[in-house]
Amino acid sequence: MISVYTLFIVSAVISILLYCAPKTAVKVGFGLGAISCFYAMCHFVANMGVSDSFVLGGTFLYAPKFALSPLGNFFSFVVVFIGFASSVYGMSYAEEYIGKANIGVFACLFNTFILSMLLVISADNVFCFAVLWELMTLISSFLIIVNDGKGTLKAVMVYLGIAQIGAFCITCGLLIIANYAGSFEFAKWGNVNMPMGASVAAFVLFLVGFGSKAG
């Protein structure tokens, strides 16, 4: 689990270091992304029935905790499977943007975006999930700008506005559940008892929040 995340971080760092070598950045940046995704696929398949977790040290509000259940391993596999196909395609697709965009930045954002999706899946408390959800949204907006140019800035601002409304709804829904569960950690929400009104409110908030992201 940690090895997978570390590999994507290394891939992103190497990609950004190649910002002055676009042709190399195409092959190395997206090539490392493909290797990272392939390794991650093998890891998640091998650990499909295993639960894993770790906590990052720190005292800033919360110590970020990450955990993967067998279901989390499955969804993580889906992410890296699609990421692998996208990485392979990106090695030829990104060549069209040489001279139009910084390929090193493009590859770095690509690898970081995959990492952010994996971290969202494994986030195990409300604060960690909310921060990573916002990070994933910001990275995706940067990818749109790099891919489509400055002409999309207005559309990106609209996207970010809708995303903020969605994030607010999701966070409110999570806080409602956390209030009745007595904990901000998702692992302790298994037997939470909520009144009908709170359940409906959380459902509507999640419907709007996640629905806005899907749209």
pLDDT tens-place values along the chain, 215 residues long: 889 999 999 999 999 998 888 888 889 999 999 999 999 999 999 988 888 888 876 655 567 788 899 999 999 999 999 999 999 998 888 888 787 778 888 899 999 999 999 999 999 888 889 889 999 999 988 888 876 666 677 888 888 888 889 899 999 999 999 999 888 888 888 888 888 999 999 999 999 988 887 75
* Domain boundary residue, one of 98, 131, 164: 131
Does residue 201 form part of some domain? yes
Decide: 149 and 171 in contact? Cβ < 8 Å. Answer: no
Beta partners for residue 55, in sequence order: 65
Decide: 76 and 121 in contact? Cβ < 8 Å. Answer: yes
Does residue 143 form part of some domain? no
* Domain boundary residue, one of 72, 101, 131: 131
Q: Are residues 125 and 170 in the same domain?
A: no
Structural domain including 165 reads: 149-215
Q: Are residues 181 and 116 in the same domain?
A: no
* pLDDT of amino acid 149: 64
CA–CA separation, 56 vs 62, rounded Å?
9
Does residue 144 form part of some domain? no
Q: Are residues 115 and 171 in the same domain?
A: no
Q: Are residues 153 and 121 in the same domain?
A: no
Q: Are residues 98 and 171 in the same domain?
A: no
Does residue 164 form part of some domain? yes
Q: Are residues 47 and 83 in the same domain?
A: yes
* pLDDT of amino acid 150: 66
* Domain boundary residue, one of 70, 104, 131: 131
CA–CA separation, 80 vs 117, rounded Å?
9
* pLDDT of amino acid 151: 67
